[in-house]
Chain A
């Protein structure tokens, strides 16, 4: 009997664990079901995409999604992507029309780097092999091109840039391969460093230094010598990439390091020589090359004698509205200076700089809660439109402060007085802050604020700004009232469909590379025409009701848009 009681007790105690495990299993199964459902939908739709490069992009994203659960299928997807990419590139190369907008494919502009980068994140050694297999003819030619002959004109600059980009990509994959496969790392890195200098060189040296500090030092020294002995121009034009790399090396070397830091850095004597070379280059160009302002910080450490001259050069290179990089201004703006100290110092600066200082001082005063002084400063320093704008900003800050203190009604009173333009985002911020502070107690209040915000919006957005406003509203609403958010989102879709269709007709005619053969090019970004729409809200909605979100996506009429958004859903489904 006692035994039975013990068994009964154990059973009762283990029951919640079993239920929990059961629930967790169910949730995992549900996630898996959703993920598979979305992936199946994408795979079914995929062959119907017009552009091979789009099929390649989608296959890559699918491969990436599948990698952790089914590596074999993921590799097959990557392989499909590569086949589609090569085919699309070959077609682009064979097209003769000058304005076919295919150049990006023929010169490895976007699609190829994006695809290879995703594959490299999973298997960089394979990506390195694919890098060679997928190389378009223009890149092969650029890599093979001999340096331009001095006695002939070849217009080879474009070739040089193509080759530089390709080598940088290769070095980046080698670094990734070394991370993924430590055994082979040393050989890979040494081989890469022997080839050329790129933005990746410093990372590779650091990686090598972890295994073989002496080798890293020796190779680093050779590379530094190469830069010191080289030239910062190419065919008479500044070689911005090389200048950038040199500044990167020096900045890294002179950066503050902890006392126990043993990571790679170049020899300081070499970096001093390199800094002198870069500084001389800038000074010889007399401001005719854009100044990388890091050189002033570098000069302060390695070549103090040049600092004043560089500062003068920086001031002379004043841009539009009198703007220039002024290290004194940066010190004042970034340092631990009080608002009153800033105001006292403002008189020494130019009009444009003074305006920046006043704005920052007013912000500081507002953050400290000293609204009376902030208002007084605005009255003293601004007039007309600028006064109105400054007061709007100040009121916005004041309202934010009150929101953070939980004084929602007080904040709302200020927002009610704001001009319509800035009021919407402020109200949404208020609703969000209140709701996040206490989702039960403040839900009714947050919903009321959302109602007020809704009154500021158009029923149907007529321009980018209105669409963007509606999206802001939707992003907040998705959190507070998902059913209403679904309704609002669904009402937006016909307009988005109309706009995307119009853009798909117009863009290719105008030579805009975002659309080819009537289809948006997926590697060109996520804009579908840049109409102020932000489809990331579908992620928030999917977390609330996945199946409904999936149905909403079905209403998007363009296949490539649907597929691209479903890829987002597949990401969410797995979370």
Chain B
């Protein structure tokens, strides 16, 4: 209870510094109903979450950007909702207030107009603040959505719904994208509100669907179907009519119809439980819709790349609703393969074989019936199947008979990887290690780490020493410090592998890397800020923009693995990162997904 009080104190202090209008929340309460599954584990997890929440909230007032504070408050609020709804609500309120202030500042900052553009038109920040809030208090999120609509968004919405006598209102063509994003966010929050308030669900959903189409429409219809199937079916028919009557083009205004069409057709291919009552569209309508999008894709030719339509999905639609178009779509797929990828990336014919459960010999026989450029991935797949069952020589023969040059080298490398995995599965670790020792250096590190992890997982006591020796071998292959992202990934993999086997070694491996990462992230902050990207503002990384865009790839799984081994030391390790927003981000990630 002391810890909950501490959180409240932190919140109270931050409230003084940022939003005095919000009253200090009462102490956090633990939701005891959540303890049904495994009381001890849940309590432990909750305690760790609270620790991280405390640490994060202590840091928040030090964040320079209001949009960052908003993002963090929304996330911590969502994290605390189940245990302390009152504090969570308070944090949600803070998040919205901080976001509003940040938006107002961006609106009035004429000089840095470009820099604050995402705040004005809500490209990233509002969705990442309002969606977590919506997950628990969607009515408040919806109300905040309307409250935080900037003049730029309002203008965009007006232009979309009321065309001004055919005048050009936005020569850049961004308004429709902004309006679509806003509409989609609104529909998402309404769906959440309906889930949280079943009594109002039908009314909310009907109103929302009638407003227009978005990629959320199908989810809304399904939700409505649960309470009012008749209305849902009727609205589904209306939606279908709208889609069939709409224009498909690369114009941004048409994207929502194209996107929803794909969502509906994809859903129609889903295998349904026999007898289950679900929202369905008429088969004839689905056929017409499939033909419409297929015809559009074929007429768009190479521009299909810009329309957000995946040709493999279209082929699946055609196979069910318009078999006569399959050949034309396959031709389109081939023409759209990026240069140099023919024979490497599987096309629909080879993919179909590879997704089947055919034995290797049958795959080889079927591959011979395919056009020459479609065979390579199937042969490779068959060879991998052979290797995974221990028939390495047959696999090698198949590869040698069908590949040459660089393709042969690549195919053998992949085959060796699969065979090493087979040997590991058989417990033949030394044999696998010997094979891996001949891998190209780029694959060797990952393969050895995989060997050590699997041996340890099989029998922790018996194989600990062996796994450690393999990991020591990996360490000796790496430089003192990583010099690029690939080496950083290798350090990360090695640390993760050490964590369950020898936690001290894991921390010893990664701790010396942190000063270098601090140097890198500072260099990145200078460069990004200067290049006017929206990643850094006022010298601070914008957390809503992907969060982990610190200039290098930092696998969040690393801290999850370390925390499993030693939670306290992991939080201290994170504290070694010099930038506040980085510490906050890593701790939030850990609290959200790393404690299960």
Query: Which residues does A use to contact B, with CB under 8 Å?
Result: 96-99, 145, 148-159, 235-238, 285-290, 316-322, 351-352, 354-355, 358, 380-386, 389-390, 420-421, 462-465, 467, 498-499, 501-503, 505-506, 508-511, 529-531
- Do residues B299 and A153 form an inter-chain contact, with CB atoms below 8 A? no
Q: In the complex, A355→B168 CA distance in Å?
A: 7
Interface size class of B (residues with CB under 8 A): 35 or more
13 contacts between A and B (CB under 8 A): A155-B407, A156-B405, A286-B331, A287-B303, A288-B336, A318-B300, A320-B250, A463-B115, A464-B530, A465-B114, A506-B551, A529-B527, A531-B530
- Do residues A383 and B302 form an inter-chain contact, with CB atoms below 8 A? no
Q: In the complex, A153→B552 CA distance in Å?
A: 36
Asked whether A383 and B407 contact (CB < 8 A) given A289-B335, A502-B523, the answer is no
- Do residues A236 and B334 form an inter-chain contact, with CB atoms below 8 A? yes
Minimum CB–CB distance from A98 to chain B (whole Å) comes to 4
Minimum CB–CB distance from B522 to chain A (whole Å) comes to 8
Q: In the complex, A467→B376 CA distance in Å?
A: 51
- Cβ–Cβ < 8 Å partners of A358 in chain B: 168
- Cβ–Cβ < 8 Å partners of A462 in chain B: 529-530
B168 contacts which of A156, A382, A509, A531 (Cβ < 8 Å)?
A382
Query: Which residues does B use to contact A, with CB under 8 Å?
Result: 110-111, 113-115, 155, 159, 164, 167-173, 249-252, 298-303, 306, 331-332, 334-337, 339-340, 342-344, 372-373, 375-376, 379, 402-408, 410, 440-442, 483-486, 488, 519-520, 522-524, 526-527, 529-532, 551-552
- Do residues B335 and A319 form an inter-chain contact, with CB atoms below 8 A? no
- Do residues B252 and A321 form an inter-chain contact, with CB atoms below 8 A? yes
- Do residues B530 and A382 form an inter-chain contact, with CB atoms below 8 A? no
- Do residues A99 and B486 form an inter-chain contact, with CB atoms below 8 A? yes
Q: In the complex, A285→B298 CA distance in Å?
A: 11
Closest-by-CB residue of A relative to B337 is A237
Q: In the complex, A287→B305 CA distance in Å?
A: 13
Q: In the complex, A384→B336 CA distance in Å?
A: 39
Q: In the complex, A386→B156 CA distance in Å?
A: 12
Minimum CB–CB distance from B108 to chain A (whole Å) comes to 14
Q: In the complex, A341→B529 CA distance in Å?
A: 48
Closest-by-CB residue of B relative to A288 is B335
- Cβ–Cβ < 8 Å partners of A238 in chain B: 335
- Do residues A319 and B252 form an inter-chain contact, with CB atoms below 8 A? no
6 cross-chain pairs, A with B, having the tightest CB-CB distances, nearest first: A287-B301, A288-B335, A502-B523, A502-B526, A155-B407, A505-B523
Q: In the complex, A242→B560 CA distance in Å?
A: 53
Counting chain A CB atoms within 10 Å of each CB, the highest count among B171, B410, B524 belongs to: B171
Asked whether A509 and B249 contact (CB < 8 A) given A288-B331, A355-B168, the answer is no
- Cβ–Cβ < 8 Å partners of A289 in chain B: 301-302, 335
- Cβ–Cβ < 8 Å partners of A288 in chain B: 301-302, 331-332, 335-336
- Do residues A235 and B343 form an inter-chain contact, with CB atoms below 8 A? yes
Closest-by-CB residue of B relative to A99 is B486
Asked whether A318 and B250 contact (CB < 8 A) given A236-B373, A285-B335, A510-B552, the answer is yes
- Cβ–Cβ < 8 Å partners of A320 in chain B: 250, 306
Q: In the complex, A176→B145 CA distance in Å?
A: 66
Minimum CB–CB distance from A279 to chain B (whole Å) comes to 16
- Do residues A463 and B168 form an inter-chain contact, with CB atoms below 8 A? no
Asked whether A286 and B298 contact (CB < 8 A) given A236-B373, A383-B168, A531-B531, the answer is yes
- Do residues B171 and A355 form an inter-chain contact, with CB atoms below 8 A? yes
Closest-by-CB residue of B relative to A96 is B441
A322 contacts which of B251, B440, B483 (Cβ < 8 Å)?
B251
A98 contacts which of B113, B172, B486 (Cβ < 8 Å)?
B486
Asked whether A317 and B173 contact (CB < 8 A) given A235-B342, A355-B168, the answer is no
Closest-by-CB residue of B relative to A458 is B111
- Do residues B523 and A384 form an inter-chain contact, with CB atoms below 8 A? no
A290 contacts which of B302, B342, B404, B440 (Cβ < 8 Å)?
B302
- Do residues B342 and A317 form an inter-chain contact, with CB atoms below 8 A? no
Minimum CB–CB distance from B154 to chain A (whole Å) comes to 12
Known: A316-B301, A358-B168, A463-B531. 18 other contacts (CB 8 A): A98-B441, A152-B407, A153-B343, A155-B344, A236-B334, A285-B301, A316-B299, A318-B303, A321-B250, A351-B168, A382-B169, A386-B167, A386-B168, A463-B530, A502-B527, A509-B488, A509-B552, A511-B486
- Do residues A154 and B405 form an inter-chain contact, with CB atoms below 8 A? yes
Q: In the complex, A264→B171 CA distance in Å?
A: 47
Q: In the complex, A1→B353 CA distance in Å?
A: 116
- Do residues A384 and B159 form an inter-chain contact, with CB atoms below 8 A? yes
Asked whether A317 and B300 contact (CB < 8 A) given A385-B170, A463-B115, the answer is yes
- Do residues A96 and B339 form an inter-chain contact, with CB atoms below 8 A? no
- Cβ–Cβ < 8 Å partners of A159 in chain B: 405
- Cβ–Cβ < 8 Å partners of A316 in chain B: 299-301
Closest-by-CB residue of B relative to A284 is B331
- Do residues A236 and B404 form an inter-chain contact, with CB atoms below 8 A? no
- Do residues B404 and A465 form an inter-chain contact, with CB atoms below 8 A? no
- Do residues B343 and A511 form an inter-chain contact, with CB atoms below 8 A? no
Q: In the complex, A383→B406 CA distance in Å?
A: 58
Minimum CB–CB distance from A563 to chain B (whole Å) comes to 23
- Do residues A286 and B532 form an inter-chain contact, with CB atoms below 8 A? no
Asked whether A155 and B343 contact (CB < 8 A) given A321-B252, A355-B171, A383-B168, the answer is yes
- Do residues A152 and B300 form an inter-chain contact, with CB atoms below 8 A? no
Asked whether A508 and B405 contact (CB < 8 A) given A236-B373, A381-B167, A385-B169, the answer is no
- Do residues B110 and A499 form an inter-chain contact, with CB atoms below 8 A? no
B167 contacts which of A154, A382, A508 (Cβ < 8 Å)?
A382
B532 contacts which of A386, A463, A508 (Cβ < 8 Å)?
A463
Asked whether A465 and B170 contact (CB < 8 A) given A287-B301, A290-B302, A506-B523, the answer is no
- Cβ–Cβ < 8 Å partners of B334 in chain A: 236
- Do residues B527 and A318 form an inter-chain contact, with CB atoms below 8 A? no
